[in-house]
Chains A and B, each alone.
Chain A
Amino acid sequence: MANSKTPSGKPRIGVYVCHCGTNIAGVVDVEDVANWSAEELKDIGVVLSRDNKFMCSSQGQELIESDIKEFGLNRVVVAACSPHLHEKTFRGACERAGMNPFFCEMASIREQVSWVTKDKKKATEKSKSMVAGAVNRVVYHEALEPIKVPINPTTLIVGGGIAGIQAALEIANTGHEVYLVEREPSIGGHMAQFDKTFPTLDCSACILTPRMSEVGMHPNINLLTWSEVENVDGFVGNFDVTIRKKSRCVIEEDCTGCGICVQKCPITVIDDEFGVGIGTRKAIYTPFDQAIPNYPVLDKENCTYFIKGTCRACEKFCATNAIDFEQQDEIINVTVGNIILATGYDLFDARKMPNYGYGRYPNVFTSMEFERLCNAAGPTNGEIVLRDGVTAPKSVAIVHCVGSRDKNHNNYCSAICCMQSLKFAHIVYERTGAEIHNFYIDIRTTAKNYDEFYQRVLDEGTLFVRGKVAEITDVPQNEAEEGKLIVQAEDTLAGLQRRIPVDMVILSVGLEPKGDSDEVAHQFGISCSSNGWFTEKHPKLDPVSTMTEGIFIAGCATGPKDIPASVSQGSAAAARVISYIEMGELELEPVRASVIEEICSGCKICNDLCPYNAIIFIEDKQVTEINEALCQGCGTCVAACPAGAIVGTGFSNEQILAQIEGLMMDFSVPEVV
C-alpha cells in the first residue's frame, strides 16, 4: 500500500553536522556521522556531507550558501541544536542562496542526543538515526510561502501589578492604545501592600502611586479594574477578547471618589483581600487610600441592603447619586493585536506547615501580614505590635524559606524571601529595638546592593541561625520560655539544637503561581511549567515571549522575582509588542492545516477541538473547513481526523513516516529504506 510520491526534481541534499564546540563533538563522533551520511544516504539524494565547528557562525552559514550554488543543492539538512534556536538562521542561509527556506530541515543532535546521552558510541549512532530521519523527511518537503497578518495596534494587558503597569505605560507612551484589565478593585498589585522596598528602603507606595495615577489619567490607557477576561479568540495581530466588568454598584461616570459612602457605611468587616486579615474595611470600600481608580466597590455579601433589604446609607449620602444597587455586570468586547499577561503570584499558605503554628499561635505572622502591620497606612499606622494590637515585641524570629526550597511543598527558591526577611529585620530593629533572630538555609543576596544590605543588617546586630526551623511551639521547657513562642532549629554551623524563645515570629512565605494559572494559560493558549509558572518561549533568550505568537508574559507570572526584575520584564514585553505594532504586519510560519473536501465526511469529530476556533462547519456542503488565518498549525485536528482528511503543511503523513523510517534505520545490518 505504498503511496509514496516522488518530489519534483531529483533531491540533491547537503548534510551539515555541527560540532557546536564540544557541546556535540564532545560526545558524538561528528566526522563519522558526516562520512556515514555521505556514504550510506547517497541513494536518498545526499550529494555532500560536512562537519563544521560552528554551523551557526557566519562562516558556517556561508558554507551552506556557497555549496547550494556550487553543487546545485536543493535540500539542506543541518544536524545541530534544536530548531527552536537556529532554524531561522539556516533557513535564512538557504534563502540567501536562492532556495526556498522550507527545504531546510534540522536534526537536533545536541538537545536530543549529545546532552542526553553519555555513551559515545550510542550517541553517534543516535545522531546517524536523526540525520537519516531528517534526510528521509526533507525529500518530501515542499516550497512554502510565509503567511502575512496585519497587527492591530491595540494591546491587552492582563494584571495591574507593577509589571503590568510598567508595560501599559511603555506602550501607551508610544501613542498606542492599551486595555489594562485588573481583577481587583484597584491596580497596584502586591507592591501596593508593601511598606518599604529592599534594599533602598524606599517607601513602596511613594514610588508606586505616581505610576498608578499616571495609568489612571493616561489618555491611551483604558483601565478596567474589578474586571476579568472571559474569553479570547483569534490569533496574533487580531485577538477578540471578551471582558466581564463586574458590577461595583457604583456608577463610575458620576462617582467623584469623595469617600462619603465609605464613611457612612455602618458595616465593618475584616479585610481579607488587600489587608490579608489584618485590619478592617467597610461593606463599600476602596482597598486603600491611593487606589486607582478611586471608585469604591460594594461588597454584596456583607452589605445590609443586599442581606436585609434596608439601609441604603451610601445611596442617601452620595451627593452625585452614583450608587446603583441594580447595576449588572457589563460585557466588553475588544479587538487587540497583542496580549501581555502579568497576572502575578499567590503566597504560600503557611497553614500547610502546621509545625510552624500559623493560625494556632496568634503571634506567628506571615510576611504579608507583617508588611501590613509595619505599613504606615496599615491598621496600626506602622507600629509593630503583637496580635493583641498593643504590646511591642521584645524579641522577634524571622523564618526564611517557608514553603520554598522544601521538597514537601515547593522545590524552587522564591528569590525574594532572603531580602524580604533582611528588610523585616532592619525594620524591627529600627522601630522596636527588639532582639532579632533570622533562621535561614542559605543567604541569597545576589542583585545590586543586596549583599551590602545584608552586611548592614549583620552590623545592626541581628542574629543569624543557619538551619531550617523544625518547630514553633508554646510549650515551655524552662522558666525563660514561659509565655513565649519557642523556635526550635538545628544550628548547622554550631552543630547543635537551639531553642530560642521569642514574642513574635514572622514566616517569610514563598511565592506560588496564581491558583488559576492553569486555566488562564489554557484560556490564552500558552503553557505552564510543572510548578504552574507560565512557560517562556526560551528561558534565557526569549523570556517574555510564549510559544503562542502575540501572547507575552511578564513579572512573577513567569516565576518569582523582585520588583526591578518585574519592571524590566514589563518593559521588555512592551518593547516586543511595540516592535510588532511598528512592523504593521507579521510573517507567520506557513504551517497550517487544511481539509481535503472530497475526503471529509462531515463527521464533526474535529469540530470542537480547535484551540484557536479555526474550524467551521459548512452546512450546505456538510464538510468542515479551516480558517487559514486563525489556524496556528498545532495539528490537533490533523491527528484527530479519522478519515485523514485534514493535512498539516510541513507535517504531511509522507514527511512524518519518512522521518520515522529514517530514525528506525538499522545500523547493525545496513539496509536501504
Chain B
Amino acid sequence: MRQHTEWKEGLTAGIPIALGYFSVSFGFGITAVRLGLSVVSSVIISLTNLTSAGQAQGVQVMAAHGSLLEMALVQLVINLRYALMAISLSQNLDPKFTLRHRLIAAYGITDEIFALCSTRKKPVTPSYMYGIILVATLGWTLGTLLGAAAGEILPAQLISALGLMLYGMFIAIIVPPAAKEKSILLVVITAAVFSTVCYYLLPFLSGGFAVILCATAASLLGALLFPVREEAAV
C-alpha cells in the first residue's frame, strides 16, 4: 500500500518537472536537428543523458567533430555538479534503497529531480524517485522528439515563454525555505550574487563550471557561519 502511495506521490511531484523539461527539450530537439543530427539520434541522446546543459554542449562537440576525449571532458566538467548532488542525496535515502536501486535511480539525478528529492521531508524511497524519473524522462524525451520533428509549428512567443517554466519551478522550491531560515536566505543570495558576477565579469567560465564554483562557495559560507546541528541537516 505504502509502495503504491510513494509511487503516485512521485508521479505527481514529477509533473511540473515534465512540463518544464518538455519545453526545454523541445528547444534542444530543434537545435540538434539544425546541427545535422537525425531525429532518432536526438531522441536517443535525450533518453540516455537526461541533462540539459551537458546535451546542449555535447551536440556542439559533435557538430564540430571534436574528439571523444573532448566530449568526455566537457561532460565531466558540466555534469560534475551531479556528483555533489548524488552525495548530498545519498544522506536522505530510505533503507529500501539497496545497491540495485541506487544503480538504476542514479540515472535520474538531475537538478530538478535532486531539488525535489533533497527538500523532501520524508526519506526518499525508490518508488518515489522512480515515479518522478518516469514522468520527467517522458517529458524530456517527448519534447525532444516533437522539437526535432516539428520545431517550426508552435508560435515562437509561446516557446520563448515556456523557457521560464523550469526557473519558475526553481524559485518555487527555494523561496519558502529561504523566507523561513535566515541561513538559507544568506546562502541563496550569496550564490545568486556570485553567479551574476561570474556571468558578467568572467564570461569565459562555462555555465556548468560557474554553477559548481558559486554553489560550493556559497554553501561553504553557510556551513561556516551557520553550521547545522544533527536533526535539521540533510
Tell whether A and B belong to one assembly.
no
Q: Hey, which bits of chain A sit against chain B, CB under 8 A?
A: none
